[in-house]
Amino acid sequence: MARNRWTVGIMLVACLLLGFCADTAAMEPPSSNAEITFEATRETAQEKAEFLTKYYGPSSVQYALIDHGRIVVTGQAGKNDEKGLKPLTKDTIYGIGSTSKMFTAVAVMQLVEQGKIDLETPVVQYIPEFTMKDERYKQITPRMLLNHSSGLNGSSLTDAFLFEDNDTYAHDSLLKQLAGQTLKADPGAYSVYCNDGFTLAEILVERVSGMDFTSYIHRYITEPLDLAHTETPTDSPDAAKIAGLYYPATGQLPIETINVIGAGGIYSTAEDLARFSQAFTGGAEEVLSGKSAAAMAEDEYKTSLWPDEGDNTSFEYGLGWDSVDVYPFGEYGIKALTKGGDTLHYHSSLVVLPEQGMAAAVVTSGGTSMTDQLLANEILLQALKEKGTITEFKPEKSFGVPVKTDMPESMLQYSGVYGSFSSTAKVDITKDGVMSITNELLPNQPAQIYVYSADDTFKSADGNVKISFVTEENGRTYLWLRQYASLPGLGQYASSEYNVEKLQPQELPAETMETWKGRDGKMYYLLNEKHTSVVYMSLPAIQLKLSQQLPGYVLDKRITGPNTAVSELQISRMNGRDLAGYTFFTQDGAEYLESSGRIFVNENAVKPIYVAKKSIATIPSSGYAKWYTISEKDAGKTVKVSMSSKNASFAVYDAKGTCVYFSILGGKGQVELPAGGTIVFAGDAGTKFEIAAQ
């Protein structure tokens, strides 16, 4: 599951300018597995795992390599807990995020094999109460759920990310939430990452099998494959067995629970994930037939709205798979599949070489799934070399330094503002062939500069990025970004994608514009997230910003009326994901914002707390959180908060929005109030918070 942030800052065109080169490569017949010690691979894996924890963010990492059904390399690195008292082992389990989607895909394909699901039969035939405002929903099929082409908006994740809380609300409420939504595209039109599609697929498995999802995957996947350390939140796993979330800035965190299991909620180990890969290499026909495994590895992404061929480390969708054509393995003529996962704190990657009978899995606390995948790639490449399948490593690739040439005047038409989900970028092209790109959310970031080159593309000075513009059959214009990014010690990442879509300015009626100007720069505070929510770790709020680059927009969202705005992007792969509109309404004199099932309140309705010797805050009957600002009078005061219910928490934020205290993380309920900050109280309706000045 990819990261879910409330205030999103995205560099739309980014390239890492760090170099790391390998040697040339060739192919030769592999050696017998029985003759191989994998000693060099073990050394490489451990060295790079330690390098990963030192330089790329994870506090701990665990890895495993399987070859024809045998775990041949396994290990771990880093720190599991703040005091170093809890050792990492091969049995320490991690949240695997969206790698969970492969369990969901296998479950669906098993039911296909049994004749209980047809990939081309509309989902509504299996889930009659599935409905949406948009009649096109009746065309959505199970295949579209698995290849991300359903047209669903993206992620309905209210109360999905919680600390040590397996509340099933996010799963249980999905059909109700979808009933109030429309589609962003015709079903099957193009593939763009979608979490809701896999939660819906989870429900599909439950309805067709007559079993809850956790029971199903245990009976038909984890038990047959002997995955003894793979669990879900509904198993209530022992927190002592789960990898610690340790961060120097915050110390030890409670265990993270993701309650959309089929989309991103499974816990596992690197060794279990490696064993799971046998379902895709022909080593577990009792779990998945070779025919089904091959069908899942087919190119599902090649719709009309997909760029021409280009190297990709991730995101060339199959059924469940992020990619069925993984760079750099294609350079060696080797078929590779990958699936990665990111929660807010856990990350994972599974890379499978089905024709080689091999796979590598990496799981981490902290870091990213991309760096996990690069480590898995490096382990596999070293093992392939040790086996003699390849003799040398291929050199890293580049597009070559630009050869500046005269630019056709027609290229000037591509200047303008382009959108990606929750952000916009301004593209300026000059007559002398220089293109600059600036991101509206990162105004202090220097512009990225590219020059028009002899191959009719714009290139970066180092030759690692090239950009073209494409107008597709749908009449929309896209910036096509191709890049190679080298990470020292971890190898090279490649990408080819429609990165952003050109947006057109619009004029608004004066009255509508005035209404929106009154909201510009205002903070809207989240009200309906559970007290155990991970989002309280960072300020759960939206700051509304009218686009300064594009009249009539609030970032990527087109304003459609005094109280509505919609995102109409159609971008394949990743940057058209998780689209959400804005709807404002007024109640009891306060303005509220609804977006993708979440309710926020305008900062004008948030009053100072005014701490007396003893003050009381009470959660209203709606269950909405209570927000207060911290007045100058109360800044610097130390307060102690007592709660009338165990189902409650409070968090304090400084003037920059940094969480300085969250009661779920532990502590004595005592905190100094920062100047210009905010405080939020969350819990069951009627819960009372007694705030006493110390």
pLDDT single digits (tens) 624-672: 999 999 988 999 999 999 999 999 999 999 999 999 999 998 777 789 9
**CB within 8 Å of 244: residues ≥ 6 apart:** 59, 60, 80, 81, 82, 86, 252, 253, 365
pLDDT single digits (tens) 194-235: 999 999 999 999 999 999 999 999 999 999 999 999 999 999
pTM to 2 decimals?
0.93
Dmax of the chain from CA atoms?
80
Residue 4: per-residue pLDDT: 37
**Domain that includes residue 612, residue range:** 607-693
Whether the bond between 30 and the residue before it is cis, its omega within 30 degrees of 0, is no
Residue 450: per-residue pLDDT: 98
Residue 371: per-residue pLDDT: 97
**What is the phi/psi pair of residue 381, to 5°?**
-65, -40
- Identify whether residues 651 and 668 lie together within a single domain: yes
- Number of domains composing the chain: 3
In a domain, 195, yes or no: yes
DSSP string, 488-511: TTTEEEEEEEEEEEEE------HH
- Identify whether residues 628 and 672 lie together within a single domain: yes
Alpha-carbon dihedral 286, 292, 293, 299, rounded to 10 degrees? -170
Residue 8: per-residue pLDDT: 30
Residue 121: per-residue pLDDT: 98
- Identify whether residues 550 and 661 lie together within a single domain: no
- Identify whether residues 582 and 632 lie together within a single domain: no
* Strand bridging mode 553-554 / 541-543: unpaired
In a domain, 309, yes or no: yes
* 9, pLDDT greater than 90: no
CA atoms within a 13 Å half-sphere pointing along the CA-CB vector of 637: 21
Residue 441: per-residue pLDDT: 84
- Identify whether residues 174 and 309 lie together within a single domain: yes
* 549, pLDDT greater than 60: yes
> Both ends of the chain: CA-CA distance in Å?
43
* 329, pLDDT greater than 60: yes
- Give the amino acid at 407: M
DSSP 255: P
Q: In what side-by-side order are the strands of the sheet with 60-67?
A: 70-78, 60-67, 358-365, 346-353, 337-342
In a domain, 473, yes or no: no
CATH of the domain at 381: 3.40.710.10
- Identify whether residues 590 and 612 lie together within a single domain: no
Q: How many whole angstroms separate alpha carbon 389 and alpha carbon 392?
A: 9
* 13, pLDDT greater than 80: no
Residue 510: per-residue pLDDT: 96
Both tokens of 574, joined, read 């990743």
3-class SS of residue 620:
coil
Q: What is the mean pLDDT of residues 48-67?
A: 96
Residue 249: per-residue pLDDT: 61
In a domain, 445, yes or no: no
Name the average pLDDT for the chain: 92
Length of the chain as a residue count? 694
Residue 309: per-residue pLDDT: 83
DSSP string, 166-205: ---HHHHTHHHHHHT---SS-TTS--B--HHHHHHHHHHH
- Identify whether residues 593 and 612 lie together within a single domain: no
Domain boundary at 561, 583, 601, which? 601
- Identify whether residues 538 and 619 lie together within a single domain: no
Query: Within a 10 A sphere around the Cβ of 493, how many other Cβ atoms?
Result: 23
* 15, pLDDT greater than 90: no
Q: How many whole angstroms separate alpha carbon 287 and alpha carbon 360?
A: 20
- Identify whether residues 46 and 65 lie together within a single domain: yes
Residue 14 pLDDT level (bands cut at 50, 70, 90)? very low
* 16, pLDDT greater than 50: no
Q: What angle do the packed helices 39-55 and 369-387 form, to 10 degrees?
A: 160
Both tokens of 221, joined, read 């996947």
Alpha carbon of residue 500 to chain centroid = 18
Residue 301: per-residue pLDDT: 87
Give me the percent of the chain exceeding a pLDDT of 70.
95
In a domain, 209, yes or no: yes
| Cβ atoms of residues 546 and 554 within 8 Å | yes
Burial class (CB in 10 A: 0-12, 13-18, 19+), 24: exposed
Shortest CA distance to 173 belongs to which of 584, 580, 597?
597
Whether the bond between 328 and the residue before it is cis, its omega within 30 degrees of 0, is yes
In a domain, 494, yes or no: no
- Identify whether residues 634 and 589 lie together within a single domain: no
**What is the phi/psi pair of residue 574, to 5°?**
-130, -35
Domain boundary at 340, 364, 392, which? 392
Residue 135 pLDDT level (bands cut at 50, 70, 90)? very high
pLDDT single digits (tens) 565-579: 999 999 999 999 999
Q: How many whole angstroms separate alpha carbon 334 and alpha carbon 317?
A: 17
Residue 304 pLDDT level (bands cut at 50, 70, 90)? confident
Residue 248: per-residue pLDDT: 65
Q: What is the mean pLDDT of residues 11-33?
A: 34
- Identify whether residues 664 and 524 lie together within a single domain: no
User: Which of 76-80, 215-219, 238-242 has the highest average model confidence (pLDDT)?
Assistant: 215-219
Domain boundary at 576, 601, 626, which? 601
The secondary element (H helix, E strand) that includes residue 294 is helix 290-296
Query: Within a 10 A sphere around the Cβ of 407, how many other Cβ atoms?
Result: 20
Burial class (CB in 10 A: 0-12, 13-18, 19+), 620: exposed
* Strand bridging mode 607-608 / 626-629: parallel
Alpha-carbon dihedral 313, 317, 320, 322, rounded to 10 degrees? 20
Q: What is the mean pLDDT of residues 559-569?
A: 97
In a domain, 541, yes or no: yes
The secondary element (H helix, E strand) that includes residue 682 is strand 678-683
| Cβ atoms of residues 657 and 601 within 8 Å | no
Strands, E, within 516-581: which ranges?
523-526, 541-543, 553-554, 557-561, 564-566
3-state secondary structure 337-361: EEEEEECCCEEEEEEEECCCCEEEE
- Would you report the helix, strand and coil content of the chain in percent, each value rounded to 5? 25, 30, 45
Residue 34 pLDDT level (bands cut at 50, 70, 90)? low
- Identify whether residues 86 and 151 lie together within a single domain: yes
Both tokens of 115, joined, read 């004749």
In a domain, 348, yes or no: yes
* 27, pLDDT greater than 70: no
3-class SS of residue 262:
helix
CATH of the domain at 688: 2.60.120.380
Both tokens of 431, joined, read 């007559």
Give me the percent of the chain exceeding a pLDDT of 90.
85
Residue 1 pLDDT level (bands cut at 50, 70, 90)? low
